[in-house]
């Protein structure tokens, strides 16, 4: 007899601004079809290339089925099957010992962006750990510096809707690649282009987005602050700035104006590697084609000077009076419209004082003794794959091999990180769990129903937190709630202080799939009013001065040395790694993966191709490298092997290899063996893109 097909609505959980609405067709407990929700205003019925074949992910033959306990040496891949009870008991015993000897601080949860859900990420990263008094994680791998720059300068992370680009006469996409990383912007962009909107892309690489541009500029990485201040210099020189707007709506303009004298076109051309004529042309275009919108994301902030570079870009719409205009201003993120009530998320006041903070970008160093009061004795990883995705990964692997470190990894797959664990716990996929998702690219909330039962013995993050709470003998009611009760509690607490949730209830979300936030229509910062302390755009920022940072936008040309300054670097390597022959390695998003998520899915790996390195023909010729050759990409921190793609799609001096490859599927390493764990100028930000490498043919001795 034919089984009835159920249609279950949900949300894409991945780290992507689009947060799509999805529909799963289920027959007899099995998902048989998966597609974009036609009713979802942003998704409009289509999904990106990476999530379209999602059932291959959900029913992947390598999904973890049951808990595992290590029996061989760390990383040797020898396991025995254990029951959940046994696994939880082992964890509880080890943790009680560690807490007695070192304090709960010695236990560090490490989670990030496997899912962005309220329950499975936000609440699961807080409540249980707060109650235990565990070490806390400085979550600064992605956009911390840009977030801080935007909040301090404009007061909030607000951005216009994707469809509003049709009102822009000019769109400057600056260090951002939405064709891969925010795909649902693209139809609106094409529509706008058909309507006459001009598109400029500023990126050292000719990305998929740059191919759509009317004009692509490829500056030297990390020089965007100089570029922005150079454009500002020209705007003022040619009297294209809006003095009245600046006077009425900004703080510190006279001081910034004086500083602009330091950025004449000649100097900026030298710093950025762009011809002077291009600087003049771009400034004039920006002044003439209004309203003009600048679109940035996080790629641009992953530099040693990333925070200040973003600050400098943020000054441009103020100088031209573009903020608050329909089609003008700057778009970074919509995440500021709704912030979940922190007390309801974390119940901090009912917990011991927060444990010491560890910067997630420095995980390897922290495990190896950088953090020693107390040392990290146990690591619990969930929703993250640091060996593949965190900088300076060679050090992380070294740290994970410590015999006295008790590592638990909760995962869907046996990732590189999981392969070093003492205990591996199987996790549910999004189709098997309940959650609520807000977005950072739009303003709809989307509810995720569980569409199918958990795969084999898999459990959700929140269920594991509840299990751990029980194991540790914590019996606060907020450690026992079901996922829907968690959602209801956080919604109610948040709604009490944020009108954006007016009329939003759990029941409505469940029934109506997604609901818009209740926010003022029209452009953000309408009327030139900013939620900063001064109510204005803080070109001069007292809060930065108080932190000991430059309170005015600036370009500080901080350079990474590729790790060659390490005293323990072997002399042969040091001789090979001469500063003048280094290249800047950029490792932004891969088109077919989300960080390392999905990068073990055969059809997607095939479409993305062999792990590659794009290199300019001049740089390739100078190193005797031909298209398709295997090359060693190395620096003082480590190396990996890639296949050369000789291409004019990167500027000379720059090489590109997208992030996300699984080391264990690729000779045991990826690009993060070379990336730096130095921190940026603001907010403890990662600096993946400040990375100098040396490239040579693999067969060269
Ligand atoms: N397909 C796909 N989508 C994703 C992700 C993914 O891995 N794959 N990751 C998700 C995540 S975690 C995030 S944070 C977002 C990121 O979204 P984006 O910021 O759009 O992505 P990135 O590719 O990291 O960076 C964008 C571009 O910045 C350029 N860039 C790097 N350094 C500089 C610089 O100094 N100056 C300039 N002008 N450009 C520079 C890179 O060449 C790259 O093309 O995407 C999300 N979406
Ligand atoms: N070289 C380089 N590296 C980068 C970047 C870069 O630009 N260059 N970008 C960085 C950025 S922006 C980010 S945000 C980080 C992301 O880094 P991570 O947050 O570590 O993201 P992923 O590598 O995708 O790993 C997520 C893991 O979570 C698992 N997972 C998914 N859903 C669940 C769940 O519900 N429960 C559990 N327990 N596990 C789940 C997935 O299987 C996957 O292995 O990567 C960073 N890494
Ligand atoms: S990754 Fe982004 S574009 Fe793709 S389905 Fe998920 S939310 Fe939509
Ligand atoms: Mo990210």
Give 582-624 pLDDT, tens digit per residue: 999 999 999 999 999 999 999 999 999 999 999 999 999 999 9
Q: Is the CB of 517 under 6 A from ligand 3?
A: no
Atom of ligand 3 nearest to the CA of 13: 6
The residue behind tokens 């100088």 is 319
Query: What pLDDT is attached to residue 36?
Result: 98
- Answer whether 90's CB lies under 8 Å from 68's CB: no
For residues 175-197, average pLDDT: 98
φ/ψ of 13, rounded to 5, equals -90, -5
Say what angle helices 276-288 and 265-272 make with each other, to 10 degrees: 110
Q: Which atom of ligand 3 is nearest to the CA of 15?
A: 1
- Per-residue pLDDT tens digits for 483-533: 999 999 999 999 999 999 999 999 999 999 999 999 999 999 999 999 999
Give yes or no for residue 598 CB within 6 A of ligand 3: no
Nearest-atom number in ligand 2 for the CA of 671 is 1
Question: Quick check: pTM over 0.75?
Answer: yes
Residue 382 Cα, ligand 2 centroid: separation in angstroms? 10
Q: Which of 175, 184, 389, 555 should be mutated for ligand 1, with most atoms under 8 A from CB?
A: 175
SS (H, E, C) 139-160: CCCCCHHHHHHHHHHHCCCCCC
Nearest CA to ligand 1 atom 28: 175
**pLDDT of 1 over the 80 cut:** no
From ligand 2's centre to the CA of 660, what distance in Å?
Answer: 8
- The pLDDT of residue 443 is 98
Helix (H) / strand (E) containing 281 = helix 276-288
What is the C-alpha to C-alpha distance for residues 586 and 675, in angstroms, rounded to an integer?
A: 10
Helix locations, 59-208, DSSP H: 84-102, 127-132, 144-154, 178-181, 186-194
Core vs surface per residue 168-184: b (16+ CB within 10 A) or e: bbbbbbbbbbbbbbbbb
For residue 365, what pLDDT is reported?
A: 98
Measure the CA dihedral 490/492/493/497, to 10°: 130
What is d(CA 341, CA 224) in angstroms, rounded to the nearest whole number? 35
Alpha carbons 516 and 662: distance in angstroms, whole number: 37
pLDDT at residue 2 is higher than 80: no
SS3 437: strand
pLDDT tens digits along 187-242: 999 999 999 999 999 999 999 999 999 999 999 999 999 999 999 999 999 999 99
Instruction: Give residue 701's pLDDT.
Output: 58
Residues in the chain: 701
Measured in Å, residue 361 CA sits from the centre of ligand 2 at 13
| Residue 200, strand partner residues | 172, 215
Q: Which ligand is located closest to the Cα atom of residue 461?
A: 2
Q: Which ligand is nearest to the CA of 586?
A: 1
Report CA Rg, the chain.
25
Q: Per residue in 414-437, pLDDT tens?
A: 999 999 999 999 999 999 999 999
Q: Which ligand is nearest to the CA of 116?
A: 2
Report which protein residue has its CA nearest ligand 2's atom 39.
Answer: 383
- Of ligand 3's atoms, which has the minimum distance to the CA of residue 52? 5
Give the integer Cα–Cα distance in Å for 159 and 332: 6
Identify whether the C-beta of residue 399 lies closer than 8 Å to the C-beta of residue 367.
Answer: yes
Which residue(s) pair with 295 in the sheet?
Answer: 173, 331
User: Which residue in the block uniquely carries the two structure tokens 């022959």?
Assistant: 581
* Cα–Cα distance list, 431 to 191, 425, 453, 515, 603 (Å): 33, 18, 8, 20, 20
Atom 3 of ligand 2: nearest residue by CA position: 389
- What distance in angstroms lies between residue 260's CA and the mean position of ligand 1's atoms? 28
Closest atom of ligand 1 to 209 CA is: 44
The backbone torsions φ and ψ at residue 98, rounded to the nearest 5 degrees and listed phi first, read -65, -45
Closest ligand 2 atom, residue 594 Cα: 24
Ligand 1 probe mutation, 299, 676, 689, most atoms within 8 A of CB: 299
Residue owning tokens 């900004």: 250
């Amino acid at each position: 007899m034919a089984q009835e097909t159920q249609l279950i609505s949900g949300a894409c959980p991945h780290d992507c601004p689009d947060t799509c609405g999805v529909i799963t067709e289920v027959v007899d407990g099995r998902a048989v079809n998966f597609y974009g929700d036609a009713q979802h205003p942003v998704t409009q019925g289509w999904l990106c290339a990476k999530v379209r074949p999602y059932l291959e992910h959900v029913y992947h033959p390598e999904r973890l089925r049951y808990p595992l306990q290590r029996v061989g040496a760390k990383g040797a891949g020898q396991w025995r099957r254990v029951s959940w009870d046994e696994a939880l008991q082992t964890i509880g015993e080890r943790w009680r010992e560690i807490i007695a000897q070192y304090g709960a601080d010695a236990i560090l949860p490490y989670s990030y962006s496997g899912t962005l859900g309220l329950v499975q990420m936000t609440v699961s990263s807080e409540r249980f750990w707060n109650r235990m008094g565990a070490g806390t994680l400085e979550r600064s791998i992605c956009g911390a510096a840009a977030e801080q720059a935007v909040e301090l300068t404009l007061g909030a992370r607000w951005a216009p809707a994707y469809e509003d680009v049709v009102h822009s006469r000019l769109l400057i996409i600056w260090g951002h690649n939405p064709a891969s990383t925010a795909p649902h912007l693209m139809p609106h962009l094409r529509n706008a282009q058909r309507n006459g909107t001009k598109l400029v892309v500023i990126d050292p690489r000719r990305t998929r987005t740059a191919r759509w541009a009317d004009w692509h500029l490829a500056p030297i990485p990390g020089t965007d602050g100089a570029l922005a201040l150079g454009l500002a210099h020209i705007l003022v020189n040619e009297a294209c700035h809006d003095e009245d707007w600046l006077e009425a709506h900004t703080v510190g303009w006279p001081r910034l104006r004086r500083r602009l004298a330091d950025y004449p076109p000649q100097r900026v051309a030298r710093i950025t590697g762009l011809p002077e004529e291009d600087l003049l042309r771009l400034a004039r275009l920006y002044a003439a084609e209004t309203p003009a919108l600048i679109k940035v994301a996080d790629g641009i902030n992953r530099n040693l000077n990333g925070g200040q570079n973003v600050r400098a870009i943020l000054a441009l719409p103020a100088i031209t009076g573009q903020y608050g205009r329909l089609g003008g201003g700057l778009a970074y993120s919509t995440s500021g419209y709704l912030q979940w009530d922190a007390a309801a998320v974390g119940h901090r006041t009912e917990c011991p004082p927060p444990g010491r903070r560890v910067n997630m970008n420095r995980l390897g160093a922290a495990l190896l003794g950088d953090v020693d009061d107390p040392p990290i004795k146990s690591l619990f990883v969930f929703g993250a794959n640091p060996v593949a995705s965190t900088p300076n990964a060679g050090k992380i692997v070294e740290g994970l091999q410590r015999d006295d470190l008790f590592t638990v990894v909760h995962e869907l797959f046996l990732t590189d990180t999981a392969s070093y664990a003492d205990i591996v716990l199987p996790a549910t996929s999004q189709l098997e769990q309940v959650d609520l998702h807000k977005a950072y690219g739009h303003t709809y909330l989307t509810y995720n129903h569980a569409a199918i039962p958990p795969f084999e013995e898999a459990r959700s993050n929140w269920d594991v937190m509840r299990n751990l709470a029980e194991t540790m003998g914590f019996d606060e009611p907020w450690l026992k709630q079901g996922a829907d009760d968690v959602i209801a509690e956080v919604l109610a607490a948040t709604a009490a202080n944020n009108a954006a949730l007016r009329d939003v209830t759990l029941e409505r979300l469940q029934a109506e799939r997604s609901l818009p936030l209740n926010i003022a229509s029209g452009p953000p910062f309408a009327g030139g009013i900013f939620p900063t302390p001064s109510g204005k755009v803080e070109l001069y920022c007292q809060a930065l001065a108080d932190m000991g940072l430059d309170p005015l936008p600036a370009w500080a040309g901080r350079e990474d040395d590729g790790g060659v300054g390490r005293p323990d670097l072997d002399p042969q390597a040091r001789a090979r790694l001469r500063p003048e022959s280094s290249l800047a390695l950029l490792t932004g998003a891969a088109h077919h993966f989300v960080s390392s998520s999905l990068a073990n899915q055969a059809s997607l790996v095939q479409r993305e191709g062999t792990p590659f390195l794009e290199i300019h023909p001049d740089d390739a010729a100078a190193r005797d490298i031909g298209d398709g050759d295997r090359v060693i990409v190395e620096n003082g921190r480590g190396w990996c092997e890639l296949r050369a793609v000789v291409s004019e799609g990167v500027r000379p001096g720059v090489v590109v290899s997208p992030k996300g490859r699984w080391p264990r599927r690729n000779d045991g390493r990826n690009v993060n063996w070379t990336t730096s764990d130095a921190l940026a100028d603001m907010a403890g930000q990662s600096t993946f893109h400040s990375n100098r490498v040396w490239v040579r043919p693999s067969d060269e001795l």
